[in-house]
Amino acid sequence: MRSVRPILKTLLLLAPLTLSLTLGAARAGGGAAPPAAPTPTVSPASAVQPARQAARVSLRALADARGLLFGAAVNHTLFDPNEPDYARTLNRHFNAVVAENAMKWAGLHNNREAFAFGFADAIVDTAVKNGQTVRGHTLVWHDSLPPWVYTIQTREELLRAMQDHVTGVVTHFRGRVHIWDVVNEAVSDAPGHPLRPSPFLNLIGPDFIDEAFRAAHAADLGAKLYYNDYNTDGLNGKSDAVYELVRGMLARGVPIHGVGFQAHLNTDFDVKGAQVQANLQRFRDLGLDVQMTEVDVQLRPARPEADELARQAAVYRDLLRTCLNVQCAGFVTWGVTDFNSWRAGGRPLIFDDMYDPKPAFAAVAQELAR
């Protein structure tokens, strides 16, 4: 990837049309529909300049002023000596950090007999040193499980293994990590949105969710415990199922404090049309915190890039505004910069391959400053 980035940078410097259109659209702050394409007249230098100016804004300072957690998921690039801009960008613009993969079950507990906390500790300690809040992600998930979990045959053994995992991880990070995604993606996409088949559901039963939260709470009484899922951002059948799930948990006295909405989106997503605000508000009305936990907005292929970047900015703007409207507790982008996003092809983040701010950055800055 690194070898092509200088080329991309050159191309971008030679692309005044793209930049002038997208930055203009971001400044206008218009609706989802991109403006009609004007004839490009600006020089490369003047077109690039507004993006550089925008970078002087610190999103972190703006988020701090609002009391909002504004985070990014991080990976090994944080420690890559060839990528100093990664940590620089993270520390300048984000007051919260999530390990993209390092704190998943397979990342911490691949060997049943011993936890391997080294990489996760490095991420957490770096964040704490830089004054950033860490979201712990994620304790119980059907994905990223080590092979040994699948060998377990009885409810009792798996329940104990799950409790031991949750207890071991939360205890280890107690004092450094105060927010946990305890259960991730337990609701399926199938019609009716029943709980998703997984070793936990299949062997323990639906109460694995309550038990995971109880174990996390017992290990750290002060931690904020979240249920986290995707395609639940708007009002729809799946978010209805999550709503019923967490309502039931509250009724049973299960220690749950918040719901995370991943918001893996693309530029066709219509925040208003999907009724994201009404959806988030119903969870707030249950007394729960809400966070947008994994935001990325992929560009759609085969469309004019300038239009797509403007649409992307509009989705970020609308989503952040909605989040702020319901006093959300956090807004986390799933990565720092496009080139090492899990969906790098969709260039879904607010910094481009060169760590330069995109129109979506300007939109986010504007919203945070409002």
Which tokens belong to 233?
């951002």
Q: Does 100 bind ligand XIL (CB under 6 A)?
A: yes
Identified catalytic residue from 83, 100, 211, 294: 294
Total residues in contact with ligand XIL, by rule CB under 6 A: 8
Least CB distance to ligand XIL at residue 184 (A): 5
Say how many CA atoms lie within 13 Å of 196 toward its Cβ.
Answer: 17
- Binding residue for ligand XIL, selected from 13, 32, 35, 101, defined by CB under 6 A: 101
Q: Which is nearer to ligand XIL, 239 or 262 (CB)?
A: 262
Q: Which amino acid is at 58?
A: S
Q: Quote the Cα angle for 339-91-108, to 5°.
A: 70
The dihedrals phi and psi of 7, each to the nearest 5 degrees, come to: -65, -45
For the window 248-277, what string marks contact with ligand XIL as x by the rule CB under 6 A? Answer: --------------x---------------
Least CB distance to ligand XIL at residue 307 (A): 27
Q: Is 185 a catalytic residue?
A: yes
Identified catalytic residue from 185, 211, 308, 367: 185
Least CB distance to ligand XIL at residue 101 (A): 5
Least CB distance to ligand XIL at residue 139 (A): 12
- Binding residue for ligand XIL, selected from 163, 184, 267, 340, defined by CB under 6 A: 184
Which of 334, 240, 241, 332 has the alpha carbon at shortest distance from 278? 240
Q: Does 89 bind ligand XIL (CB under 6 A)?
A: no
Q: Which residues of 53-91 are buried (b: 16+ CB within 10 A; e: fewer)?
A: ebbebbbbebbeeeebbbbbbbbebbeeeebebbbebbb
Which tokens belong to 307?
């239009």
Least CB distance to ligand XIL at residue 323 (A): 18
Q: According to CB under 6 A, which residues from 154 to 183 bind ligand XIL? A: none
Please, which residues bridge with residue 179 across strands? 135, 224
For the window 276-315, what string marks contact with ligand XIL as x by the rule CB under 6 A? Answer: ------------------x---------------------
Strand, coil or helix: 21: helix
Q: Is 308 a catalytic residue?
A: no
Least CB distance to ligand XIL at residue 105 (A): 11
CA dihedral 109, 113, 117, 120 (to 10 degrees): 0
Q: Does 76 bind ligand XIL (CB under 6 A)?
A: no
Q: Which is nearer to ligand XIL, 76 or 172 (CB)?
A: 76
Distance CA 172, CA 47 (A): 49
Q: Does 188 bind ligand XIL (CB under 6 A)?
A: no
Strand, coil or helix: 198: coil
Distance CA 333, CA 312 (A): 13
Strand, coil or helix: 269: coil
Distance CA 30, CA 273 (A): 16
Q: Which is nearer to ligand XIL, 229 or 318 (CB)?
A: 229
Q: Does 79 bind ligand XIL (CB under 6 A)?
A: no
Distance CA 311, CA 67 (A): 27
Active site residues: 185, 294
Q: Return residues touching ligand XIL (CB under 6 A).
A: 100-101, 138, 184, 230, 262, 294, 342
